[in-house]
Chain A
Amino acid sequence: MGRERRTLLTLLFIIIGMFGFTFALVPIYDAFCKVTGLNGKVDITNSGIVRYKDPGADTKGRSITVEFDVNRNQRLKCDFSPEHPVLQITPGKLTLTSYYIKNLTDKTLIIQAIPSISPGIAAKHLKKLECFCFNRQTIKPGEALNMPLRFWLEQEMPEEVKRLTLSYTLFDMTEFKKEKTDGT
């Protein structure tokens, strides 16, 4: 029965391997999205590696329209609005804007803002120095916050991008015990 035993073990190895592969798909998918910037998924973990270098006058005269959009998931009872709904941005130059969030409920909320960028090819060229989406925010009942966003568009942004939309969705994470980690 030696042959049969070997067959069995090989097959079991494949089965367990594929089950593990399914879970491995989660970080693989995340890494893939990070490298390619697909899905408009923007890095929301402030790895601290992001470095900004002011290009000075060397901006090639480009100007890109950036729309700042907001969504409240499940109609979260918060006011949520951008300080600037639209900005003309020069690639390479650092921009500072902010978002206004007000807790309209009578409970403390823990919220997480998740960014998404369209078109997808623009996503990996939007770099953030400071963003309220890096962490969950705790807001007391009735409290209002002005959350800063400091970012720039890389000059490597493809030529055909003339307009992009940065959209934040606010999620209620009050019930979630686990701190957000990369992708899980």
Chain B
Amino acid sequence: MLLPLRKKILSLTLSICLCLVGPTAWADYTLNMHRGVTEISRGIYQLHMIIFWICVVVGIIVFSAMFYAIIWHRKSRGVTAAHFHENTTVEIIWTIIPFLILVGMAIPATELLIKMHDTARDSEYSIKVTGHQWFWEYEYLGTGVRFTSLLSTPQDQIKNRDIKGQNYLLEVDNHLIVPIGKKIRFLTTANDVVHSWWVPRLGIKKDAIPGFINEAWAIIEEPGIYRGQCAELCGINHGFMPIVVEAKTEEEFNTWLEAKKASPTSHPANTGNTP
């Protein structure tokens, strides 16, 4: 019954392809990475999709060869095994072709990486991000504005005594307010153990290492609220120290910053009285 078998194979292949096409169409269902709101996050998304599709195509070719053998070279079909067991030419070909594909992948990856390391060229704002067990602290260098940002999801929701809110585990008391359209340097460090500051929509993840500062930059293109989480195991409440970045227009940001500078809760010096 060869024909029905061929149809089965065809439909199987088609359905696998559809499943794989799925992720792009389902970006809204949080199945795939988001494009994000910075040039870098978009570059990462595009690179991710290119590599993914190359892998899919290679996978289909390789698995097709294998499935072909599984179906057509079964002993139960009455075939006898061939005797070949080496071929230098073929070995060379299937070493060189993958190597060339890898070179092709490496080129856009290198270009994007160079852009991401472009921290030295001037920026307009420097924000220091300090990881603590178990919350983040933000300081706008040179302004004296400094505050902590703690998880604000109530324990009742975590302990299942209350219904969970929409931003369960991704909400904090004080957002990190930033302006759109301006180059911002995020300097990360930590107070105790290694943490990691990750905001997917900005395309930024940088480890926060005690005693050292790391640097990442972003120009945020759209106003909005962007949520992230700590991405390095740092103890008991590693899962409970989220990040919320709120990007505002430049005017709104300046208004906010001025108000914050003048407010009594801001600290002009790094004093021992603050957490």
Contacts and interface: CB of A to CB of B under 8 A. Distances in A.
Q: Which of B189, B211, B271 has the largest count of A CB atoms less than 10 A from its CB?
A: B211
A161 interface: yes
Interface in A147-184: 158, 160-165, 167, 169, 171
B207 to A, nearest CB: 12
B2 interface: no
Contact of A163 (B122, B191, B272, B275): B122
B211 A114 contact: yes
Interface stretch (A5-13, A22-30, A71-79): A71-79
Interface residues of B, number: 31
Contacts of B275: 75
Q: Which of B144, B214, B273, B275 has the largest count of A CB atoms less than 10 A from its CB?
A: B214
Given A85-B141, A114-B211, A163-B120, A73 B272 contact: no
Given A67-B126, A67-B141, A85-B142, A169 B189 contact: yes
B210 A169 contact: yes
A79 B122 CA distance: 30
A85 B146 CA distance: 14
Interface string A2-44: 0000000000000000000000000000000000000111000
Contact of A73 (B185, B191, B271): B191
A118 B139 CA distance: 16
Interface in B150-209: 185, 187, 189, 191-192
B15 to A, nearest CB: 49
A116 B215 CA distance: 11
A73 B210 contact: yes
A165 B129 CA distance: 13
Given A73-B192, A116-B212, A79 B270 contact: yes
A86 B122 contact: no
Interface string A105-131: 000000000101111011000000000
A65 interface: yes
B189 A70 contact: no
B213 A167 contact: yes
Contact of A169 (B187, B211, B214): B211
A116 B213 contact: yes
Interface residues of A, number: 40
Contacts of A121: 120
Interface in B100-147: 118-123, 126, 128, 130, 132, 139, 141-142, 144
Contact of A81 (B132, B211, B270): B270
B122 A65 contact: yes
Contact of A165 (B121, B126, B192, B211): B126
Contacts of B187: 69, 118, 165, 167
Contacts of A158: 120
Contact of B213 (A65, A76, A160, A165): A165
A104 interface: yes
A160 B272 contact: no
Nearest to A160: B120
A119 B212 CA distance: 11
Nearest to A112: B211
A100 B271 CA distance: 10
B19 interface: no
A162 to B, nearest CB: 4
B211 A116 contact: yes
Contacts of A122: 120
Contact of A118 (B119, B192, B272): B119
24 contacts: A40-B213, A41-B212, A65-B122, A67-B141, A72-B270, A76-B272, A81-B270, A85-B142, A85-B144, A86-B141, A118-B119, A118-B215, A119-B215, A121-B120, A160-B120, A161-B120, A162-B122, A163-B122, A164-B120, A165-B185, A165-B187, A167-B128, A167-B213, A169-B212
Given A122-B120, A163-B122, A167-B189, 13 more contacts: A39-B212, A65-B122, A72-B270, A75-B132, A75-B272, A80-B272, A85-B142, A100-B269, A116-B211, A117-B213, A118-B119, A165-B187, A167-B128
